[in-house]
Structure 1
Amino acid sequence: MLPARSLLFALLPLFAGCQMFATQPEPAAPTLRLQGELSASNGALQFRPCGEQRRLSIGNDGNSDIMREAALLLADGPGPLFADLRGQLAASSAEGGDGKLQLSEVYRIQREGPGCDEPGFNRLLLRASGNEPDWSLSVTGKGLALFRPGQPVLALPYLEEALPDGRYSLSSEANGQRLELWVAPQRCTDSMSGTVQHLSAELRLNGQVQRGCASIGGARSR
C-alpha cells in the first residue's frame, strides 16, 4: 500500500486535469447574416428576415448606432427600412416576440432600393457609390462594373490587395483606363439618400478622385 504522501502526489495530475476541464470556456454561439425589414414598434426596433414571418427584437450591445441611424431614416416617412445585419439569435422576453437578434455588425440600412428583391445579391462581392457626380460600382468574382449617368458602363477585370486595419483596394489598368477603389471599415452615410453602410470608399479614375460609401454583397462575409 502506498504511503499517504505518495498517494497524494499520485493524484495531483488527476486533480489538475479535472480543474483544466472545468475551466474551459464554452464555445461562442455562431453569428448569422440576415437581410430583411426593419421597423419600429412601441419605441423598439423589430426585424423581419426576408421571406419569413417571424419578428426579432433588436439587441444593441453598444457597438452599433443602429437605434439612432434607423430613427433618422424612419422619421423620413412611413414604412419599414431594409437592413443587412449580422448577429446572434437568442430567446426574447418580449411578449409576442419570436426571438432576439443581438447585433455584431450592421452592413447596410436603407429606405431606397430593391431590398429583399435585389437581383444578383448572392453573387455580389462589393457595391460602392457616391454623389456629385453620381457613380456606382458593382464587384463580382468575374470583374467590376462602373455605372455613371450618360456614359456607357465601364466593365473591367481587377486585382484586389489586402491592406492593414481591414482596408483593401481594387485596381485595374485594362482598356486604357486606370481605376482604383480604396475601401476602409468606417461607418458612412450617403448624403442624398441617408443610406448607412459599414465601409467608406474612394474611387480614383484616371486621376480624378470621388468619395462615397460601400458595403459587401452576399458573396462576401467580411
Structure 2
Amino acid sequence: MSVVRTALVCSLLPLFAGCQWLGLQSQAPARVSTASMVRMQGDLTGEAGKLLFEPCHERRRYVVLDRGATGILQEAASLADSQNRVFADLRGHFTASKAAGSDGQLDLHQLYRVERTGTACEDPNFKRLTLHAEGLDPVWSVNVSGKGMIIDVAGQPPVALPYLEEQLPDGRFNLSSEANGQRVELWVAPQRCVDSKNGAVRHLSAELRVNGTTVRGCGYYGGARND
C-alpha cells in the first residue's frame, strides 16, 4: 500500500471501522431511486475520521455518509494524491448541518466516477453530454449528446453519427448507427470499471464495435443524463 493511500485510510480509520460494522448488519441495502437527488462533482478529502466532499468551485464541505454502499472510501484511498485528495462525481441528498468542520451532510447513493485530481472540474463538454466512454488498444473515445455521437479512434479522423438507443434488462443499453457506411454499436452496462491507463474508477463498462472490430473500456453518464 502506498504512503498516500495509507495516510488517507489512517485518517479515516474510525469511519472505516463503522462502515465494516454496518456492512455486517446490512449486506444488501434496498435500491433507492436517485431521480430526486442532486448530482455534483468535486474533491474528496479525509480529515479527523471523516470523509469530506467539496463541490467544484465552492468552499462548502459536506460530511459523506455512504448510504448506497458505493465503496467510496476504498475507491478514494486507492487514488489519493499527496494531499489525500481525489476527484469524485456523485449523487445524493445534501443537507445543511451545524456540525463543526463542515457545512452539511451528503447522504451518498450513486457514485459515477473517482479519479486523481486534475482538470475534471473544468471540463467544458460535461454538461452537454449524456455519455462518455473510452478505452485503450487502440486509444478510443465516444462522446454522446442529444445531437449524436462522436467516435474518435487513434490514427483516424473523428466520426460524427446519429444513433438509436435500445434499453435492455438490468440497466444495460445499446447505442447503434449504420449511417455514412459505418456499422457502429456501443454496448453499455452498469458495472464497476477501472481505467487501465490511470486507475480511474467508472460506474459503467463499455464495448465499442466498429465495422466488426471490438474494443473495450469504461464510461460514465454526462451531465445531460439524469440517471
**Amino acid of the residue matched to residue 188 of structure 1?**
C
Corresponding position: 1:68 with 2:86: no
What letter corresponds to residue 113 of structure 2 in structure 1?
Answer: R
Larger mean CA deviation between 76-85 and 162-171 belongs to 76-85
Runs of 4+ in 1 over 6 A off after TM superposition: none
Range with greater deviation from structure 2 (156-165 or 76-85): 76-85
- Segments of structure 2 that go 5 or more residues without pairing to the other structure are 1-33
Alignment of structure 1 residues 146-185 onto 2, 5 Å: 146-185=151-190
User: Could you tell me how far 1:120 is from its partner in structure 2?
Assistant: 2.1
| SS at 2:142 equivalent | strand
Amino acid at match of 1:96: G
The 3-state SS of whatever aligns with 2:138 is coil
> Which of 121, 127, 140 is the matching residue for 1:122?
127
Distance in structure 2 (CA, Å) of the matches to 1:178 and 1:48: 43
Q: Map of 1:22-101 to 2, 5 A cutoff?
A: 30-61=36-67, 63-74=69-80, 77-78=82-83, 80-92=85-97, 94-101=99-106
- Cα 1:155–1:112, aligned 2, differ >3 Å: closer, same or farther? farther
CA contact (8 A) 1:123 1:219 kept: yes
- CA-atom RMSD, angstroms? 2.0
For these two proteins, the number of residue pairs brought into alignment is: 194
Residue in 2 that maps onto 1:187: 192
Measure the CA separation in 2 of the matches of 1:62 and 1:106: 9
Determine helix, strand or coil for the equivalent of 1:69.
helix
Q: Displacement, 1:93?
A: 6.9
Name 1:20's counterpart in structure 2: none
After TM superposition, give the deviation of residue 189 of structure 1 in Å. 1.0
Unaligned runs of at least 5 residues, structure 1 = 1-27
Amino acid aligned to 2:160: A
| Distance in 2 of aligned mates of 1:99 and 1:187 | 28
What letter matches 1:199 in structure 2? L
Match of 2:22 in 1: none
Offset at 1:105? 0.1
Q: Report the CA distance between 1:92 and its aligned residue.
A: 4.8
Alpha-carbon contact 2:68-2:110 (below 8 Å) kept: no
Amino acid at match of 1:57: V
State how far apart, in whole Å, the 1-side matches of 2:83 and 2:214 are.
Answer: 36
User: How far apart, in 1, do the equivalents of 2:96 and 2:132 lie?
Assistant: 33
Superposition deviation, residue 150 in structure 1 = 2.3
Q: Give the TM-score, by structure 2 length.
A: 0.79
AA at the equivalent of 1:124: L
- Are the counterparts in 2 of residues 29 and 88 from structure 1 also a CA contact under 8 Å? no
Corresponding letter in the other structure for 1:122 = K
Does residue 1:106 correspond to 2:106, yes or no? no
- Look at both structures and tell me which one has the larger radius of gyration over its CA atoms: 1
Kept after mapping to 2: 8 A contact 1:158/1:170 = yes
TM-score (norm 1): 0.81
Corresponding residue of 1:209: 214
